[in-house]
Structure formats: C-alpha cells, structure tokens
C-alpha cells in the first residue's frame, strides 16, 4: 500500500487532490515512495504515474520523462516511431514548459503518441506516451495555464529536484542478476552475437553456465506468456557465448577493463558468486585473489552439476574469462579463522562466497554418517565429478547396486541421473510431496529426462528408519507413505501419514539430498559476524556487507542454498558496492541499484495485462535432446541447444518489453 496524492497505475485510479485526509485512499501498489533515504515526489512509468508530493511540477515531470526516454534510453533509436517520435514528444513538451506552447502542440503530442503506441519496435516506445497522456488528461489545467498565459512551468529553471530513471523489463526484473535479456535476444535476432554476449556479461559473467543450467525465473515473468508461451530465454543466452568460443575470438567484455587501481580484494570461494565478484571487481581495476578449498575452480557447478548438464569445457570458458582479467586463483587452500584475520588486514575488503556444502540429514531413525552406504549428496557428486571432469578421484561404479536418494531439488536430480550413468541396477527417488511440486522445484525437462532414463520416483514418501547389518552396512530402509490434506486455513497442504502403507526398500546406498547448510567455520569468533536464523551469514541484503565493515558475503553462504543466478546477482551487486566502498569507505547502492530494488518491490510483470500487436499462437521452440539410450551410458551433453534456425525464430518472438521508470526526488 502506498500513500499518494494522485495515481493511475494499471487500472487503479486514485485521486486525492481535493480530498480531506480522512477521505484519502491509498494505492494497492508498492510504489517507491522513498528513494534511499529521501522521500520521492513522484513516480512515473510504463503503466502510469503516481504523485506523492502536491508541489510537483507535472509539466516539467512529463518533459523530463520524455527527455529521459530520449537522452538516456540506451535501448532505442532503432525504429522510426521511437527515434523521431521520442524527439518530437520531448521538443513539444519542452516548448510548453518553456511557456512557448500552443494549443495545437497538444494535438500533435497526441498524434505522435498514437503512432508511437501502435508501432514502436519495443515496448519502451509504445509505453512512454501512456503516462504523458495521463498527465495531460488529469492535469489539463496545468498545461493549459502555461499555454494560455505563455508562462514557464513552476520549476522549469529549478534544479533542486533530481530525476532518476531506469530502463527495465519484466524478465530483467525477475532475473536475480537483472540480465539485460531483451538486448541479448536482440543480438541473436540480428546475428550480432558479440553484442548479444556483451549484453549478457553486463551483469552475468557465466553466460555458458546460465545458458544451460539456470532455472530461469525470468521465464515465469515473460510477457510473451500473455500472448501465447514464454520465450525460451535461457537457451538463447549460450548462443553468443558459443560464438565467441567456436571462433576463438578475443574475450568480449561489456566494458573496457580499467587499469589496476592498487586496491586488493580477497574472495573466498571460486564458485559462481566468487567468480562473479572477481570479474566485476577486476573489470573496475581491483586486484582479486580468490582462495578455493578444492583442487579445481568453479565450486558446486564444477563438482556438483554433472557433465551431461554442464560440460566442464564450457564452464571453464566462463572461468577463463574471469582469469583473463588477471584474477589470481589459489586452489587447495581451505581458509581458517587465522587466515581470515590476516586477510582482513592484508586486503581492502573480503568477500565470503563459500556456498553451502554440508548435506543436511534426512532425519530418520538410526541415521548416522558412519553407516557404510550412507553417502550424502555433496561428497557423492564431488567424487563423480572430480573423476569424470578432472580425473582427480576414483570412478564411481554402481554396477549391481540399488541407490535411494531423498530429495526433490536439482541436487537430488543430479544424484539419481548420475547413478544411472554409473550403471546402478535400480535408482529410486523418494520425495515427500507430489509430482507437480517436484516439477515446480526443478524443471519439466529435468524430471521427464530422469524418468526416461529409468529413475523410479516414489512420491509422498519418507524414510522412517535405516537398517544395517552386523558390519554396519546399509541393508534396507523403512518407508512411510503420506497423503496431502488441504489446510483449512488455505496454507500449504499438510502431510498426513497413511497407516499400514509402510514398506521396506532394500538398497546399497542412501544419498540424502535434502538441502545443505553453510560451513562457516572459517569465520573467527572474535569477528562477531551476525548470522541468520538459518545459519548463514547475515548482510544488509542490498549491498551485501556484513555487520563487520569491509567483510561482504554473497551467494548461498548468505542466502542459503539457492540458484546460480541468485549467487551471480548478489555477487554482482556486492562487487559494485565494494568498488564504492573502496573509494569512499562506505558501502552504498547507486541510484540505479536503488531503482532496481524499488522496481522489484513494485513488480514489473503484470500477468493480467492484455497484450496486442503480436500474432497469437507462435509456439515456443524446443531444442533437441540426446536420445535416451545414448545418454544413459555417456556423459555427453543431453541438450543440443538451439540450431541457428531455432534460435532466430525464438528470438523473433521476443517482444522487447523494455520500460522506462523515473522518480522525482
């Protein structure tokens, strides 16, 4: 809820201008009423406008909005209506604001707006006229006053009010790393694949990786879904990266790397978060030393995500990109509290990116880690991946064995599908909830591919007890079955045990893959770094600095076990704030980042919006997969990715839903 003077957003009109305090209504939208520490005077964007301060100069506001579109929008100038129309809008509004306007200018404004709305290339050109027309309609007197009396608008020459704008899009807003998705898709469509890759790398250095194994939350907020089906956003990401790779071209960086500035940052952990932090710090000229406990780089994506999903050769390209900026990696180095104390003194800042690498227990009777055959997911996948990708561990051979995995997330899927490839006789996945939920938690593809490969899923089940033989070797599991009962209060359905449905499951291995904890034994006690209630490092959640100045944390060790893209997003933000911290001693978000967070609060995607101007019924493209028989026995990448034809088609479905939002502070 937001207190407003006036607002028209989507279909909600609130007009409190002539109302007494008690009659005033609040808007249901979470507008950015504050901007950092300051109160916002007005907010204007693609769906309308919200005014929080009566004193706002609306003509100047509309003029500035047109100017922001015209001057700052990096996205446009690539279609006739946007290019010329935007300029004309601004010129006309400025003319009125200067006190030189005529009545006919309003008519021209409307006419140009109409053309822009109907035919601009991207949504930014289509949506900019909307709030302007709203202001002209609801604040008509303000405009007419200037025109009739030939006077300048109230604050035309006053520079106290700051106008801050940001270009966004529903998908960009939904992406934890805020990747400029329309730009990289446009690069594919235009076959300017270097541009595509540079657009991705503005906020996402792991283009190969997140072009393959991202759970793509962006696709849940893709506006194309309002027409037919969402764009296959993730798969289009790797096109640019593969181009760079296959031609052996020099690295395409989003900006020219700055020369070294003498600052030094220590990063602990070379997983997605550590790599991301290192990349963006190095781009800014900061020297980075990255300490990694494992003998290999890449963190969980290297030793957790299997080769058939994420070929290490491709991941190494992402890692080499980071290394190319002079980032120094130190492997086989487990950081201890003493080291931390030293790092704090030796470096200008420290970023902890150690992830969550302790498998949680399944919590059943007789669960002891020393049982032979009890093999938690993290060490299980470590061994498989260190063997297959690096030949640094003994191979895992499960011939003739039965493997039971308890899980329901991506890690458990990796466990069962790796077990199939390790030639297990039988592979069973136990999951507490139903099929629908497992698909929601992972992906449709992941679940169906596992079934095709022969994994058995037992839903709504849990282990009651583990049985072992005289050598403490696992023999069987007692399984309870559950059913879901709707929660009368509308919450998540309750799981209720089904009496008499218990059964025993003989097996050789039990692999718990039910989430992980962070191992934070590296933090010295005397540092007194605050923790969250779920055992991760506590930060302010916006700059990712801990309560200890100069110590930052990003990725799973901060958030808890989450996605790669989440780690990337946090680390990117942390890097940006660290650069400011190194300059000023204060970790602060910049205006753009404050806007980013404000817009996420408001939400850019509107599921109910009726979209026109796009032909309905163009099917989402699906890439070809390796056939089941070949993939069951090999580590070859399952997903072939899009062919060029498929990629071009899919890219042409993208509607470029850029929007521009602006606040007056």
Partner 1 sequence: MTTFYINGQKVTANKNDTILSVARREGFYIPTLCYLTKVKPISSCRLCVVEVEGQNGFILSCQTPPVEGINVITDSQKLFTHRQNIMKMYDVNHPLECGVCDKSGNCDLQNKTLDFEVSSQEFSAKEQKRVIENWGFIKYDESLCILCERCVHVCNEVVGDNALKIGVGGYKSRIVRVEDSSCSECGECMAVCPVGALTTKDFQYKTNAWELQKIPATCAHCSSGCQIFYEVKHVGSCEKSDKKVYRVTNDVDINSLCGAGRFAYDFNNSSVKDKDKFEKAIEAFHVADTIVFNSYITNEEALILQRLKEKFGYKLINSSALKYQKFLQEFSKSAGSMLYNGTIEDIKSADFAIVLGSKISSDNPIVKYALNTAQKNRRAEICYLHPIQDEDIKQIVTQHIKYEVGSEEGVVALLLQLFLNQENLEDSLKSYIDELDIGYLSAESNIGEEELSKLKAKSIRKQNFVLVIGEDLITHKRAENIAKLIGLFQKYTQFKVIIIPTQTNTLGVSLICDLDEKKGNYSIGYNVKGNFTLSCFDGDLSMPSLNQQEGTFTTIDKRVVPTNVAISYNGYCLNDIANAIGLNKKYTIDYTIELPHEKGFIKKSFDELSNFYNLNGDDNRGYALENKVVNSIVAVESVEDIGEFNGTVVYRCESVNQFNYNTFVSKNLANDSFLIGSNQFAIAAKIGDGDEVEFSIGENLIKKVFKIDKKLKGTIAMNPSFDRLLSDDWVSSSYRYQKVTIKRVEG
Residues that bind partner 1 (CB under 8 A): 69-71, 73-88, 91-92, 108, 111-112, 114-115, 118-121, 189-192, 194, 246-249, 610, 612-618, 640, 643-645, 648-649, 652
CB-side neighbour CA atoms (13 Å) of 632: 14
Q: Taking the complex as a whole, how short is the minimal distance between the CB of residue 145 and partner 1, in angstroms? A: 23
| Residue pair 601/170 in contact by the 8 Å Cβ criterion | no
Q: Taking the complex as a whole, how short is the minimal distance between the CB of residue 313 and partner 1, in angstroms? A: 12
Sheet holding 42-45, edge to edge: 12-15, 6-9, 48-51, 42-45, 659-664, 163-168
Closer of 246 and 489 to partner 1 (Cβ): 246
391's CB contacts (< 8 A; 6+ apart) are none
CA distances from 13 to 113, 134, 512 (A): 21, 11, 52
Q: Taking the complex as a whole, how short is the minimal distance between the CB of residue 183 and partner 1, in angstroms? A: 10
**Burial zone of 530 (CB within 10 Å; 0-12 exposed, 13-18 middle, 19+ buried):** exposed
Closer of 228 and 465 to partner 1 (Cβ): 228
Say which residue the tokens 């990063």 belong to: 267
Q: Taking the complex as a whole, how short is the minimal distance between the CB of residue 230 and partner 1, in angstroms? A: 17
Q: Taking the complex as a whole, how short is the minimal distance between the CB of residue 638 and partner 1, in angstroms? A: 14
Closer of 96 and 514 to partner 1 (Cβ): 96
Closer of 80 and 628 to partner 1 (Cβ): 80
Closer of 166 and 426 to partner 1 (Cβ): 166
Closer of 499 and 645 to partner 1 (Cβ): 645
Question: What is the three-state SS of 637-656?
Answer: CCECCCCHHHHHHHHHHCCC
Q: Taking the complex as a whole, how short is the minimal distance between the CB of residue 418 and partner 1, in angstroms? A: 24
**Measured distance CA(509)–CA(520) in Å, rounded:** 28
Closer of 89 and 213 to partner 1 (Cβ): 89
Closer of 232 and 383 to partner 1 (Cβ): 232
Q: Taking the complex as a whole, how short is the minimal distance between the CB of residue 80 and partner 1, in angstroms? A: 5
Strand partners, 559: none
Of 144, 163, 155, nearest to 96 by C-alpha is 144
Closer of 259 and 617 to partner 1 (Cβ): 617
**Measured distance CA(199)–CA(254) in Å, rounded:** 7
Q: Taking the complex as a whole, how short is the minimal distance between the CB of residue 384 and partner 1, in angstroms? A: 24
Q: State the pairing for strand pair 503-506/34-35.
A: unpaired
Closer of 120 and 442 to partner 1 (Cβ): 120
| Phi, psi angle pair for 115, to nearest 5° | -60, -45
Closer of 24 and 618 to partner 1 (Cβ): 618
Q: Taking the complex as a whole, how short is the minimal distance between the CB of residue 612 and partner 1, in angstroms? A: 3
Q: Taking the complex as a whole, how short is the minimal distance between the CB of residue 191 and partner 1, in angstroms? A: 5
**H or E stretch at 503:** strand 503-506
Q: Taking the complex as a whole, how short is the minimal distance between the CB of residue 224 and partner 1, in angstroms? A: 13
Count Cβ atoms below 10 Å from residue 549 Cβ, excluding itself: 13
Closer of 320 and 530 to partner 1 (Cβ): 320
Closer of 41 and 314 to partner 1 (Cβ): 314
Give the number of residues written for the chain.
Answer: 665
**Measured distance CA(25)–CA(581) in Å, rounded:** 41
Count Cβ atoms below 10 Å from residue 209 Cβ, excluding itself: 28
User: What is the tally of helices (H) and strands (E) in the chain?
Assistant: 25, 25
Count Cβ atoms below 10 Å from residue 285 Cβ, excluding itself: 17
* Tokens representing residue 277 in the block: 């932090």
Q: Taking the complex as a whole, how short is the minimal distance between the CB of residue 247 and partner 1, in angstroms? A: 6
**Burial zone of 101 (CB within 10 Å; 0-12 exposed, 13-18 middle, 19+ buried):** buried
| Phi, psi angle pair for 51, to nearest 5° | -115, 125
Of 355, 410, 414, 404, nearest to 383 by C-alpha is 414
| Residue pair 614/655 in contact by the 8 Å Cβ criterion | yes
* Tokens representing residue 122 in the block: 């991207």
Q: Taking the complex as a whole, how short is the minimal distance between the CB of residue 108 and partner 1, in angstroms? A: 5
Please state the separation of Cα 8 from the chain's center in Å.
Answer: 29
């Amino acid at each position: 809820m937001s207190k407003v003077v006036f607002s028209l957003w989507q279909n909600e009109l609130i007009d409190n201008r002539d109302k007494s305090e008690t009659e005033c209504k609040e808007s249901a939208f979470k507008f950015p009423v504050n901007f950092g520490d300051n109160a916002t005077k007005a907010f204007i964007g693609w769906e309308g406008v919200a005014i929080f301060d009566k004193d706002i100069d609306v003509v100047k506001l509309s003029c500035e909005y047109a100017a922001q579109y015209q001057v700052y929008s990096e996205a446009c100038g690539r279609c006739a209506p946007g290019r010329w129309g935007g300029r004309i809008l601004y010129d006309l509004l400025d003319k009125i604001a200067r006190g030189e306007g005529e009545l006919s200018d309003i008519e021209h404004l409307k006419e140009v707006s109409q053309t822009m709305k109907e035919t601009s290339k991207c949504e930014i050109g289509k949506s900019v006229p909307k709030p302007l027309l709203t202001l002209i309609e609801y604040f008509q007197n303000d405009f007419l006053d200037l025109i009739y009396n030939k006077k300048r608008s109230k604050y035309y020459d006053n520079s106290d009010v700051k106008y801050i704008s940001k270009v966004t899009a529903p998908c960009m807003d939904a992406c934890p790393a805020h990747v400029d998705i329309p730009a990289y898709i446009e690069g594919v469509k235009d076959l300017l694949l270097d541009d595509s890759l540079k657009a991705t790398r503005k906020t996402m250095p792991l283009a190969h990786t997140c072009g393959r194994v991202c759970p793509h939350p962006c696709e849940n907020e893709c506006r194309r879904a309002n027409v037919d089906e969402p764009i296959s956003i993730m798969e289009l990401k790797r096109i640019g990266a593969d181009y760079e790779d296959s031609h052996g071209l020099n690295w395409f960086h989003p900006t020219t790397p700055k020369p070294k500035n003498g600052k030094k940052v220590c990063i602990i952990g070379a997983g997605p978060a550590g790599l991301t932090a290192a990349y963006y710090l190095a781009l800014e000229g900061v020297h980075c030393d990255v300490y990694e406990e494992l003998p290999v780089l890449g963190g969980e994506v290297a030793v957790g995500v299997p080769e058939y999903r994420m070929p290490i050769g491709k991941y190494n390209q992402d890692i080499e990109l980071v290394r190319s900026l002079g980032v120094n990696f130190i492997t086989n180095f487990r950081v201890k509290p003493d080291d931390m104390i030293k790092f704090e003194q030796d470096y200008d800042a420290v970023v902890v990116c150690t992830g969550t690498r302790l498998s949680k227990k399944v919590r059943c009777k007789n669960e002891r880690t020393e049982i032979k055959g009890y093999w938690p997911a993290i060490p299980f996948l470590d061994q498989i991946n260190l063997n297959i990708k690096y030949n640094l561990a003994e191979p895992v051979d499960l011939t003739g064995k039965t493997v039971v995995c308890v899980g329901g997330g991506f890690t458990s899927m990796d466990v069962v599908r790796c077990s199939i490839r390790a030639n297990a006789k039988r592979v069973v996945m136990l999951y507490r909830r139903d099929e629908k939920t497992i698909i929601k938690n992972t992906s449709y593809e992941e679940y169906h591919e596992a079934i095709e490969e022969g994994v058995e899923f037992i839903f709504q089940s849990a282990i009651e007890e583990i049985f072992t033989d005289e050598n403490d070797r696992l023999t069987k599991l007692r399984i309870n079955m559950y059913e879901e009962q709707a929660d009368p209060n509308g919450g998540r359905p309750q799981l209720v045990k089904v009496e008499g449905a218990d059964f025993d499951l003989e097996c050789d291995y039990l692999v718990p893959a039910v989430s992980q904890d962070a191992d934070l034994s590296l933090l010295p006690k005397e540092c007194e770094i605050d923790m969250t209630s779920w055992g991760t490092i506590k930060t302010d959640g916006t700059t990712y600095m801990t309560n200890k100045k100069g110590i930052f944390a990003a990725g799973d060790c901060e958030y808890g076990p989450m996605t790669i893209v989440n780690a990337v997003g946090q680390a990117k933000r942390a890097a940006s704030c660290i650069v400011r911290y190194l300059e000023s001693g204060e970790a602060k978000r910049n205006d753009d980042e404050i806007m980013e967070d404000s817009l996420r609060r408001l939400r850019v995607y509107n599921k109910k919006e009726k979209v026109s101007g796009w032909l309905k019924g163009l099917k989402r493209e699906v890439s070809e997969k390796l056939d089941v028989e070949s993939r069951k026995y090999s580590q070859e990448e399952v997903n072939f990715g899009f062919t060029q034809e498929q990629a071009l088609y899919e890219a042409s479905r993208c509607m470029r839903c850029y929007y521009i939002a602006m606040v007056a502070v």
